[in-house]
Amino acid sequence: MKDLIIDEIYEARRQILEECDNDLDRFIEKLKTADRESPRKHVNLEEVRERAKISKSPRRES
């Protein structure tokens, strides 16, 4: 059974590698640059877990 999402990811990777003349170092640098320039926020699992602990801890009354 084909997975269309995986196929799309593989095709995008193939195209980017082709743009980089199949040079893996250039490919990785291109991805890192795109990541740095992206306005999207990354999710950090440790931060999420820490926030979950804080929100579950009992609040102190002032």
DSSP conformation letters of 1-46: ---HHHHHHHHHHHHHHHHTTT-HHHHHHHHHHHHHH--PPPP-HH
- Structure tokens that stand for 51 in this block: 């926030």
Please state the rounded mean pLDDT for residues 15-29: 97
Please state the rounded mean pLDDT for residues 13-38: 95
Q: What is the pLDDT of residue 59?
A: 60
Please state the rounded mean pLDDT for residues 16-43: 93
Nearest 5°: phi and psi at 21? 55, 35
Q: Residue written as tokens 């799309």?
A: 8
Counts of helices then strands in the chain (DSSP H, E): 3, 0
Q: Read off the pLDDT band of 6 (50, 70, 90).
A: very high
pTM across the whole model: 0.58
